[in-house]
Amino acid sequence: MRALISAPETTEGYRHAEAPEPVPAPDQVTVEVRHASVNFGEVRHLGFQPAGTVLGYDAAGYVVQAAEDGSGPAVGERVVAFGPGAWGERAVFGTDSVAVVPEKVDLAAAAALPLVGITALRTLRDAGLVLGRRVLVTGASGGVGRAAVQLAKHAGAYVVASVGSPARGEGLAALGADEVVVGLDTVTEPVDVVLENVGGAHLVAAWGLLKPGGVLESIGWASGEPAVFPPNSIFALGAAKSLRSFGDAAEPGPDLATLVDLTARGVLDPGVGWRGSWTRFGEAVEALFGRRIPGKAVMDLD
Ligand SMILES: NC(=O)c1ccc[n+]([C@@H]2O[C@H](COP(=O)([O-])OP(=O)(O)OC[C@H]3O[C@@H](n4cnc5c(N)ncnc54)[C@H](OP(=O)(O)O)[C@@H]3O)[C@@H](O)[C@H]2O)c1
């Protein structure tokens, strides 16, 4: 089959090539992948994986072989899936890592959901009840950020969305942001929760904006810059503030089903900001690093 594979010997770190057909374990379905989405972390680390590894994690398509153990969706079902090896014409996924996509949800849009949706959903859950609370989302123009803005709003929060420029803030108010700010300098009122995607100076500033008892979910570090906390800046009077890591995308199937359901109900817009053939993968990577994609890049495996 054709696939996008790791190629550490090239400057790009990847290439389109023939790859062996994936072999499913008894608890895995085989999916004919029609659309796949691109995540920041995957493209930042292109060429880091052993040569020939089929890249990618987010996919949507049709089940062409059901799981041998009888679990999961049947042949012909439209599914969205999360797992390694997604950027091939066919891919195998554990039945705990897929969700059925109803006809009313576009399959390409569904492909945008997995990693960013699971991340936004799980970090919000981890932060606790946000009804009536102030939630700050940094890197709100990106994939995780857009999903986080919408889910936090749906959960009843007052949402402050931070972006890098006014143009990057376009459309966020319509998705539920109560305030769209450029950087964090103009945020003066403290917040209860931060969903932090940028790292570096953003992480330090966001920590300073957190109320006593507040939770900062450190999701990502898109800036790649170091975070320098001034002496004593972690100290705070009152209830302890927490800084939490996130990295748990295990068994995503039920959360994928929730994300698909929220999409079907019009609560969540998967936010496809770039769409094109997977032969244009290089363009998608450049646009993502150039911060020109509002939301997600979705490739068609045409
Ligand atoms: N912990 C986990 O399991 C997990 C899961 C998913 C993602 N992540 C991480 O979370 C972060 C966000 O992921 P994503 O998929 O939302 O990425 P994305 O779509 O590329 O969005 C990242 C956002 O960060 C902002 N940014 C600020 N400085 C940047 C810089 N120097 N380079 C690039 N972007 C910069 C950009 O917003 P402006 O242009 O508006 O400034 C951009 O929209 C990434 O670091 C990713 O690796 C972690």
| Nearest CA-CA partner of 253 in 86, 104, 118, 128 | 118
Residues in the chain: 302
Cα–Cα distance, 254 to 205 (Å, whole number): 34
pLDDT single digits (tens) 250-263: 999 999 999 999 99
Pick the atom of ligand 1 nearest to 146's CA. 16
* DSSP character string of 52-100: T-B--SEEEEEEEE--TTS-SPPTT-EEEEESS--SBSEEEEEGGGEEE
Q: Are the C-beta atoms of residues 54 and 87 closer than 8 Å to each other?
A: yes
CA distance 226 to 103: 45
Alpha-carbon distance of 50 to 148, in angstroms, equals 33
- For residue 143, the model assigns a pLDDT of 98
Domains of the chain, each with CATH number or no CATH: 2-113+270-300 (3.90.180.10), 116-245 (3.40.50.720)
pLDDT number for residue 229: 97
29 C-alpha to ligand 1 centroid (Å)? 31
pTM given for the model: 0.98
**Neighbouring C-beta atoms of residue 238, cutoff 10 Å:** 8
Q: How far is CA 111 from CA 10, 92, 238, 274, in A?
A: 28, 15, 43, 12
Q: What is the token pair recorded at 212?
A: 């006593």
Residue burial 66-82, b: 16+ Cβ < 10 Å; e: rest: bbeeeebbeeebbbbbb
**148: helix, strand or coil:** helix
Measuring from each residue's beta carbon to the nearest atom of ligand 1, which residues come in under 6 Å? 39-41, 115-116, 119, 139, 141-145, 163-164, 168, 197-198, 219-224, 246-247, 288, 291
Ligand 1 atom closest to the CA of 39, numbered from 1: 15
CA distance 42 to 53: 12
Residue 281 is predicted with a pLDDT of 98
Q: What per-residue confidence (pLDDT) applies to 164? A: 98
Strand-pair partners of 217: 195, 244
Report long-range pairs for 272-280 (Cβ below 8 Å, ≥24 apart). Answer: 272/108, 272/109, 272/112, 272/296, 272/297, 272/298, 273/297, 274/298, 275/108, 275/299, 275/300, 276/300, 277/302, 278/4, 278/16, 278/36, 278/87, 278/302, 279/16
Closest CA to 88 of 20, 179, 176, 14: 20
Q: For residues 155 and 130, is the Cβ–Cβ distance under 8 A?
A: yes
Query: What per-residue confidence (pLDDT) applies to 2?
Result: 98
Predicted pLDDT of residue 163: 98
Instruction: Give me the tens of pLDDT residue by residue for the chain, a chain 302 residues long.
Output: 999 999 999 999 999 999 999 999 999 999 999 999 999 999 999 989 999 999 999 999 999 999 999 999 999 999 999 999 999 999 999 999 999 999 999 999 999 999 999 999 999 999 999 999 999 999 999 999 999 999 999 999 999 999 999 999 999 999 999 999 999 999 999 999 999 999 999 999 999 999 999 999 999 999 999 999 999 999 999 999 999 999 999 999 999 999 999 999 999 999 999 999 999 999 999 999 999 999 999 999 99
Residue nearest to atom 2 of ligand 1 (CA): 247
